[in-house]
Amino acid sequence: MSFKKSLLITLIFNLVILVLDKGAGLIMVRILREHPEDMGVLGILGQLPFVLMVLSNLGLASSLVYYTRRKEVSIKTAGRTTAFVALTWGTFVAVLGILGMGVWSLIQPDRLLPGWHLIIPLFLATPLLLIISYRNSVLLVLNRIRAYNFTHLVPSVLYLPILLIVIFVLGEGTAVAVVWARVLPIALLACWLVWYLRRDVPPRPSFDRQYFGKAISFGWKANINSVLTHLNHRLDIILLIPLLYVPTREMVQAYMAGQEEAITPFAARARLVLSEIAFYSIAVTLAELVWHFPETMRDLLFAKVAGSDREEARQVTPLVCRNSLLMTIIGGLAIWWAHEPFLSWWLDDSWATWQAKLSGSLTILLPGAVCYTIAKVLQADLAGRGHIGTCIFLVATVFVTMVVGDVIFVPEGGAIAAAAVSTVSYALASLLTLFLYKRESGLSLTVILIPRPSDLKHYKELLGDILKKVGKK
């Protein structure tokens, strides 16, 4: 399958995923519109399995694509070895996490932690998510783009039905519904992938020490890059908790001693912080809509560059970069223009509670999100060329800038300050990435950033392919 056709299929799938994911999120916002603090809690719970997967991935997904595309290892060997690692290492991480929560529960009052019926399924999803991640890389190498995109679509299709069934049919709370709406699709998808790829990667895991050593030597750097990239998307939300929630020592001591007079201000402060998280997390979700096209391209571009010579990569990457930037600029303007009238209608009278923080954060965050498109595309190229160290430096720049900025400004400025710090961090990383890619490729800034009239032929070809597919149906 050609790169252009792969792009078309992936783009269509991602548009469907976008509608499903954001539609489910809007329904949750409407259900909890009077309780934004609950929305903050559910956002954290829903992200936990994916954070654990990113932290424990070891970079083997990237290594699998990199070495199999370069014909240095067979798909069978790489697939069976990564399956072994997913089950053993993933289970170890899950058990370690559960034990860690158990120790925490002995130190902190139980009321500050989610229930075990929520914690255990979330942690046990880790090995399953690793299997999905590694098998997705196999699909990418085999160029099975439809199946690759199908695996991303399934969780989005199943999330809302499971959520609504658990809430309205089984009568459980929203926290239980969110957990099972995440975990059940993960389990089903992991089983399906093992079955679907059974001829290319036998289901029985095995361990190839030589390949594992090579994969880790590349993968640990790729994993640091992935972890920092994921944290850069969510770090400011995480930091809102410790930076805003700073009770006095006396309040904490009294609370730990069970003195009722300390519980009210302690709980009130917690509700305030969770509300701030909810406002900012929705702003982040809206701003990240502009990343769907570059995110669509990132894995495909990485695999393409890893299997291409330098000259071919110099042709493809600038085309993707400048058109991704154009699409995100248009998308960012559309989101900014439409969000307020839509949300004021969707949330009714509750919009007054959300408006100032959410709209203010979004207005500041969108320029940074649009700018960061440049970094996303060009770093995928650099990683495909083997410059993982450069990519780590670039994402670490975002991480350090964001942490320092949040520590200085968030305690006073809250969500608005977090948005400003993120925009500055994203802009700085984009400028550095652009400079390093320009030096590596020898291309001019206009070639990388400014769309050309000749690019229109690609849009016409993509539109023609879409119309052909619609006409056949």
Domain membership of residue 219 (yes or no) is no
- For 451-462, what is the mean pLDDT? 71
pTM beyond 0.85? no
Say if residue 190's pLDDT is above 90.
yes
Q: 151 and 193 in contact (C-beta within 8 Å)? A: yes
* Range from 286-300, 316-330, 459-473 carrying the lowest mean pLDDT: 459-473
Tokens of 243: 């930076």
- For 123-130, what is the mean pLDDT? 90
- For 355-359, what is the mean pLDDT? 78
When pLDDT is cut at 50, 70 and 90, the band that residue 248 belongs to is very low
Domain membership of residue 217 (yes or no) is no
Residue 270 has what pLDDT? 57
* Of residues 143, 138, 423, 384, the one with CA closest to residue 280: 423
Percent of the chain's residues with pLDDT above 70: 74
Whether residue 233 is found in the same domain as residue 186: no
Residue 463 has what pLDDT? 63
Residue 307 has what pLDDT? 67
Whether residue 47 is found in the same domain as residue 101: yes
Whether residue 129 is found in the same domain as residue 56: yes
Residue 385 has what pLDDT? 78
Say if residue 116's pLDDT is above 90.
no
Say if residue 313's pLDDT is above 60.
yes
| Cα angle: 175, vertex 176, 177; to 5 degrees | 90
Q: What are phi and psi of 161, to 5 degrees?
A: -60, -45
When pLDDT is cut at 50, 70 and 90, the band that residue 67 belongs to is confident
Residue 113 has what pLDDT? 59
More confident residue, 87 or 350: 87
Domain membership of residue 192 (yes or no) is yes
Region of residue 131 (phi > 0: left; psi between -120 and 50: alpha; otherwise: beta):
alpha
* Range from 156-170, 341-355, 362-376 carrying the lowest mean pLDDT: 341-355
Residue 253 has what pLDDT? 53
When pLDDT is cut at 50, 70 and 90, the band that residue 84 belongs to is very high
Whether residue 331 is found in the same domain as residue 399: yes
- For 94-118, what is the mean pLDDT? 72
Q: What's the whole-number average pLDDT of the chain?
A: 78
Say if residue 39's pLDDT is above 60.
no
Tokens of 421: 């710090």
Total count of domains within the chain: 2
Whether residue 196 is found in the same domain as residue 235: no
Domain membership of residue 215 (yes or no) is no
Domain membership of residue 472 (yes or no) is yes
E strand map for 237-317: none
Q: Which residues of 6-31 are buried (b: 16+ CB within 10 A; e: fewer)?
A: bbbbbbbbbeebeebbbebbbebbeb
Say if residue 71's pLDDT is above 70.
yes
Q: Fill in the DSSP letter of residue 167.
A: I
Residue 434 has what pLDDT? 92
**Could you list the residue range(s) of the whole structural domain that residue 260 is in?**
227-473
Whether residue 59 is found in the same domain as residue 126: yes
- For 362-387, what is the mean pLDDT? 87
User: What digits encode the pLDDT tens for the residues 208-238?
Assistant: 899 898 888 888 877 787 778 777 776 676 6
List of residues 6+ apart from 358 with CB closer than 8 A: 279, 280, 282, 283, 343
Whether residue 197 is found in the same domain as residue 314: no
Whether residue 318 is found in the same domain as residue 456: yes
* Of residues 144, 178, 139, 174, the one with CA closest to residue 158: 178
What gap in Å lies between CA 49 and CA 345, rounded to an integer? 33
Last residue within a domain, chosen from 144, 174, 207:
207
Whether residue 182 is found in the same domain as residue 331: no
- For 334-343, what is the mean pLDDT? 85
When pLDDT is cut at 50, 70 and 90, the band that residue 254 belongs to is low
User: What digits encode the pLDDT tens for the residues 399-442?
Assistant: 899 889 888 888 777 778 888 999 999 999 999 999 999 988 88
- For 265-288, what is the mean pLDDT? 68
Last residue within a domain, chosen from 207, 238, 272:
207
Domain membership of residue 433 (yes or no) is yes
Residue 240 has what pLDDT? 65
Whether residue 170 is found in the same domain as residue 246: no
Say if residue 258's pLDDT is above 90.
no
**Residue in this structure with the two tokens 């009568």, named with its chain if needed:** 171
* Of residues 371, 357, 359, the one with CA closest to residue 335: 359
Whether residue 201 is found in the same domain as residue 278: no
Say if residue 468's pLDDT is above 70.
no
CA distances from 59 to 56, 137, 217, 420 (A): 8, 11, 9, 31
Say if residue 131's pLDDT is above 90.
yes
When pLDDT is cut at 50, 70 and 90, the band that residue 134 belongs to is very high
Say if residue 91's pLDDT is above 60.
yes
Q: Using CB atoms within 10 Å of the CB of residue 228, give its burial: 0 to 12 exposed, 13 to 18 middle, 19+ buried.
A: buried
* Range from 38-42, 63-67, 232-236, 300-304 carrying the lowest mean pLDDT: 38-42
Percent of the chain's residues with pLDDT above 90: 15
More confident residue, 459 or 329: 329
Last residue within a domain, chosen from 207, 242, 271:
207
Residue 88 has what pLDDT? 92
Domain membership of residue 37 (yes or no) is yes
Whether residue 160 is found in the same domain as residue 238: no
